[in-house]
Structures are given as structure tokens and as C-alpha cells.
Amino acid sequence: MEQENSPRRDFLLAGLAAAGGLLAACTPSKDKDPFEAGAVETARASGKKVKLLSVDGEVIEVDEAFLKPVPHLPPVSNSEARLGIPGKKFVMVIDLSRCKNLKKCQSACNHAHQLNPGENWIKVEPMQDAGNTAPFWEPTTCMHCDDPPCVKVCPVDATFKRQDGIVLIDSDRCIGCRFCMAACPYSTRVFNWGEPDLPAEVASQPYSAETSIPQKKGTVGKCDFCADMTREGMLPHCVSACPNGVFAFGDMNEDSVTNGAETFRFSELIRDKAGYRLMEDLGTKPSVYYLPPVNRNFPFQSGLENDKQPS
């Protein structure tokens, strides 16, 4: 961005800086950059207003045409991203009794990571424990296994595990052999079969393993536990997006997890509600724990209408 003295610009910039990552995703007209020299005349108000939060905590309204997508800058260098945050061990708890298949988690995740249509890092699957038990919805993400088969098989160290338990992918390193996809028993990995459809500003950014942005053709992607958010002490997008508080996220070393509204002692929650992990017998030691779908206050059917299959 170049310097030019316009009062509107200054106040916009403030708002943009505050909204950072959120803005990265709302892409206005791609062809015209309202911040080019002399663009004040050419950029026309679209009439659509967007609410933003300024640095002073004020809610402001801005016309969409005057937004410039600000790349969600990688918070740290890639070698730092590989190490992770010392002293942390991130865990997620998914409460199956609360899930209604609203898929808010999914859309928030897709939005934040700029996934193409049809690609999902979070999938909500209809499950049944046994023939005589009630079916339920089960959101699945990458389990961030402590003994991750995907990391074991990766020939070039493109998939790696950090000291804080998060398993990430370095798209600059991935050769696209898809061995990790064959090895992951939870089928959580997604491949960029074609060129991802990204705004030019985003596509030209350097890749950050913590944001998983930008995705690249011929490389693999998956849920990253929103490593960039957790570094800033914030919750992953799926956790904050779920209105039912299905997801709780936290640090095992602190023994606390939160879904944004409530905070739980992790060990007590797992003990009292009989938490378990998926396919424990495989020995992958997932970091995602499930609470069984007991005492549900909604029928399974109520979520079904939301189960539209993309084609």
C-alpha cells in the first residue's frame, strides 16, 4: 500500500488492521484496487455495507468496494512454526450429545482456510455405535495424533508434529505423493487436485504452515487446529463458530478446555462423561476426545435436513 493523505484511508486502515484475518476472506471486486493512486475516483461505492471493529473498539460501517483484502500475514517464520509453542499440549473435546449437524464449524473452517467448494477439513458424519443404538452426528477433524501415521510415512518431512502436539503440513515441501492420505486411518486429509481458486493477493503470499494459506496445487491439506489462532491465545474457528458448544479446546498441561462460553477441567470432563478417542486400538493416540452422545435433547432427524450433499 502506498502513502497518500486521505482521512478516510487512515481510518479504514485502522479498521483493517484490527479485523485482519476476517477481512482476508471477504474479497470485494477483484479487478479494481481502490487504493491505487488516483483510485478514489474510480472505485465506486457498491452500496453494500460491512460492519467492522476499529482499533478503538468502535463498530464502523464501510462500503464493500473500499475494502482491500489484507493477507493474513503469517505470525511467525516457517522454522518457528515447525517448533510450536513450548510448554503447551493442545487438545480438543467434542461433545457428541450437543451436535445437531448445523455445520457452522464446517463453514467457518472453510471460510478461514479458503477451502474450495466440496473440500472439507471438518466433516460431520452420521454414526451408530451398534445396530440397536440411536444414531448420532459426529464431527471429525484431524485428530492431531501423538503417534501420527501420516508423519511416519511422509518421505520428505512435509508433514510434521510440533512440541505442542499440533500436526502441520509444509506445502512448500510436500511432493504430493499422498502416502499420508493412505496412512491416515481417519481419512481427514484433503488433496488439492487442481489449482486452488484463490484471490491473487492470497495466492501470491508466502506459504505459512500455521495458517495453511495459501493452499497449493498438488499438495495436501488438513485441519491445522488453527495454529495461528492458538498462538495468539484465541480459539480455533470451529470452536467459536458452533452455537451449541460442541467443541471445547484447550491445553492439557493447564488441564482446562473451553468452548468459549463454559470452561471445564479437562481431566474431570473426560472422567465424568466417559470421554474416549476414536479407534484407540490403532495406537495413534489422538488429541481429539469425544464425549458419548448421551442425554440428547434433540432427535437425530432434526439435523437431517441440514445434510445436503454437495455434488
Partner 1 sequence: MENSDLIAEDKIIQDLLPQKFGKWGKIWTAALVVVCLIGAFAYYRQLRYGLVVTAMRDYVSWGIYISNFVFFVAISLVGSLITAIFRLAGVKWGSPLTRIAEIIAVAAIIFAAIIIIVDMGSPERFYFLFTHGRIQSPIIWDVIVITTYFFISILLLYYPLLPDMKILLRFRERSGEGLHKFYKFIGSFWQGTAAQFRLSEKAINMLCIAIIPVAFTIHTVTSWLFATTYRPGWDSTNFGAYFIAGAFLVGAGAVVVAMYVFRKAYHLEKYITESHFEKMGRILVLLAMLYLYFNVNEFLTPFFKMKESEAAYLNGLFSGDFSAVFWFAILTGMIVPTIILLFKKGRKPLPVMISGILVIIGAWFKRYLIVTPTLLHPFLPMHDVPASYRHYYPSWEEWAITMGSLAGTLLVITILVRIFPIIPIQETIIEQHETGK
> What x-and-dash track marks residues 127-166 binding ligand SF4 by CB under 6 A?
---------------xxxx--xxx--xx-x-xx-------
CA–CA dist 220, 198 (Å, integer): 16
CB of 305 to ligand SF4, least distance (A): 29
**Which three cell numbers mark 133?**
443404538
* Residue 169 binding ligand SF4, by CB under 6 A: yes
> What x-and-dash track marks residues 176-195 binding ligand SF4 by CB under 6 A?
xxxxx---x-x-xx------
Interface residue with partner 1 among 68, 82, 111, 152 (CB under 8 A) is 152
* Residue 238 binding partner 1, by CB under 8 A: no
* Residue 167 binding ligand SF4, by CB under 6 A: yes
CA–CA dist 240, 234 (Å, integer): 9
**Which three cell numbers mark 204?**
501470491
Say if residues 137 and 275 touch (Cβ distance below 8 Å). Answer: no
> What x-and-dash track marks residues 80-119 binding partner 1 by CB under 8 A?
--------------------------x-----------x-
* Residue 290 binding partner 1, by CB under 8 A: no
Interface residue with partner 1 among 6, 133, 163, 187 (CB under 8 A) is 187
Span from 38-46, 191-199, 206-214, 287-295 in contact with partner 1 (CB under 8 A): 191-199
> Which amino acid, one-letter code, is at 288?
V
Residue bearing cell 508423519: 151
β 288-291/90-95 pair status? parallel
Interface residue with partner 1 among 16, 67, 124, 168 (CB under 8 A) is 124
* Residue 175 binding ligand SF4, by CB under 6 A: yes
* C-beta neighbour count of 250 within 10 angstroms: 25
> What x-and-dash track marks residues 243-282 binding partner 1 by CB under 8 A?
-----------------------------------xx--x
DSSP H/E element including 46: none
SS3 159: strand
Give the residue among 7, 21, 6, 29 at the shortest CA–CA distance from 53. Answer: 21
Say if residues 194 and 173 touch (Cβ distance below 8 Å). Answer: no
Residue count (the chain) = 311
* Residue 304 binding partner 1, by CB under 8 A: no
Q: DSSP readout, 163-222?
A: TTS-EEE-TTT-----HHHHH-TT---EE--S-----HHHHTSPPBTTTTBS--TT-EE-
* Residue 189 binding partner 1, by CB under 8 A: yes
Q: What is the DSSP letter of 34?
A: T
Interface with partner 1 (CB under 8 A): 106, 118, 120, 123-127, 140, 149, 152-157, 173-179, 181-183, 185-187, 189-195, 217-220, 278-279, 282, 309-311
Would you tell me which residues interact with ligand SF4 (CB under 6 A)?
Answer: 142-145, 148-150, 153-154, 156, 158-159, 167, 169, 174-180, 184, 186, 188-189, 220, 222, 284
